[in-house]
Amino acid sequence: MPLSSRDAIAPLRITRIVAAPLFGESPKGGWSFEIKAEDSIHALVAVHTDAGITGYGSCFTDGRLVEAALEVLEPLYRGENALEPERVAEKLRQNTFWMGRGGTLTHAISGIDIALWDILGQVTGLSIGRLLGGRHQDRVMPYCSLLMDEPARLADEVTVWRERGFRAFKIGWGPFGRRNDSRLDEAIVSAARDALPPGGRLMVDAGASDAYWPNGLKWALRTADMLAAYGVEWFEEALPPDALEDFVTLRNMSRVPIAGGEVLTRRQAFMPFLMRGAFDVVQPDVTKVGGLSEQRRIAWMAQDFGIRYVGHGWNTALGVAADLQLAAALPNVDLVEYIAGSAYVDNIMATPFQLDADGMLPIPDRPGLGVSLDRDRVSRYSPHAARLFDA
């Protein structure tokens, strides 16, 4: 029998939303202007409600920007029903687009949206994957994301993580494509390939979204030919992120699948790339594009265009958890990104992620995101950790 209005779940009103920038062990990014450990490039977000239920999310941007964005958004979210993530997130977008479409506000809304889905899951007793439509799978393969280095050092690094159970690897940034030395580029890829486990999978990320990327389409075409000889599964960020026409040409001519999209935000920004066939693999970042609500739209749209979806929410444990839930809710998602050795992924949860014997990550089926932050562990990396947990 349907629930009567008396039995329906009462609204949970948002009382406040807070952010805790993460500092102290920010992992290197391989950028030309390198990230320092004390830099804030990631922030955790908590949505508090009048029922004492708190949801958690994550943003991939400087925590100070998130804090400023929350002040701007506060009149729009205060008192809203936390059980309506898509409506609330869209309200925030629709009423702030004139301040900048896809910038800091969108990044902040991403963390809020993830946290609202987390709350809805806690109240209903369902994992987000089930709320988003059901569980197509119970586990998914994480690919270990490593910065490139000189060949011998990179081989040693791959070996370390192979021995910890990873079977898929993505190598990126570092010296690749930045020294005008095609022999070095090939030696790096060859060393990584040789260090893989039997049957291991390898992806290559040029990192052309870096500042002042020096190479263009012809370099990407030559490099794609080289990567094909090593059985590379995809070539990521081979071109600057706005080079739509060159991406279309590269995808049409490359024997290696072409991946990209991690710096794009909002579904509207992805549409030209999907419609023109610029990617074989699209990689929206759940902590940047607008959260799970927007990420799901992009992923389904990609499927309609025959383009593979792989999430990019690698930056904190909550970003990984969100990607895992969407990997459960969508068909044919076989990989999630997992940055190697990041304290913000491995050291902030009550129960850290654990690979199984097959090198797979189980997808939590507990309410909401299915993971729990550890207050003391988060406190190591944020002087504002208490605001996440204290209602």
Question: What is the share, in percent, of the chain residues with pLDDT greater than 90?
Answer: 88
Buried b (16+ CB within 10 A) or exposed e, 220-257: beebbebbeeeebbbbbbbbbbebeebbbbbbeebebb
Whether the CA torsion 288, 14, 45, 68 is positive or negative: it is positive
Confidence grade of residue 38 (pLDDT, cut at 50, 70, 90): confident
d(CA 7, CA 3): 6
Reduce the DSSP state of residue 325 to 3 states and report it. Answer: helix
Confidence grade of residue 7 (pLDDT, cut at 50, 70, 90): low
d(CA 347, CA 316): 10
Average the pLDDT over 310-330 and give the result: 95
Q: What is the pLDDT of residue 6?
A: 52
pLDDT digits (tens, 9 = 90+) for 356-374: 999 999 999 999 999 999 9
Domain boundaries, the chain: 14-126+376-389, 130-368
Indicate the helix (H) or strand (E) that contains 260.
strand 258-260
Reduce the DSSP state of residue 184 to 3 states and report it. Answer: helix
Confidence grade of residue 37 (pLDDT, cut at 50, 70, 90): confident
- Mean pLDDT (the chain) is 94
Q: What is the pLDDT of residue 314?
A: 81
Length in residues, the chain: 391
Q: Are 151 and 176 in contact (CB under 8 A)?
A: no
d(CA 157, CA 31): 19
Q: Are 292 and 114 in contact (CB under 8 A)?
A: yes
Q: Are 304 and 330 in contact (CB under 8 A)?
A: no
pLDDT digits (tens, 9 = 90+) for 300-310: 999 999 999 99
Domain boundaries 14-126+376-389, corresponding CATH code: 3.30.390.10
pLDDT digits (tens, 9 = 90+) for 280-300: 999 999 999 999 999 999 999
Domain boundaries 130-368, corresponding CATH code: 3.20.20.120
Which amino acid would we find at residue 245? E
Q: What is the pLDDT of residue 40?
A: 84
Average the pLDDT over 112-141 and give the result: 97
Please provide the distance, in angstroms rounded to a whole number, between the alpha carbons at the two ends of the chain. 36
Confidence grade of residue 168 (pLDDT, cut at 50, 70, 90): very high
Percent helix, strand, coil in the chain (nearest 5)?
40, 15, 45
Average the pLDDT over 7-36 and give the result: 85
Average the pLDDT over 326-336 and give the result: 96
Lowest-confidence pick of 39-43, 169-173, 346-350, 356-360: 39-43
Q: What is the pLDDT of residue 92?
A: 97
Q: What is the pLDDT of residue 366?
A: 97
Q: Is the pTM of this model over 0.85?
A: yes
Rg (Cα) of the chain, in Å, rounded? 20
CA 13 to chain centre: 28
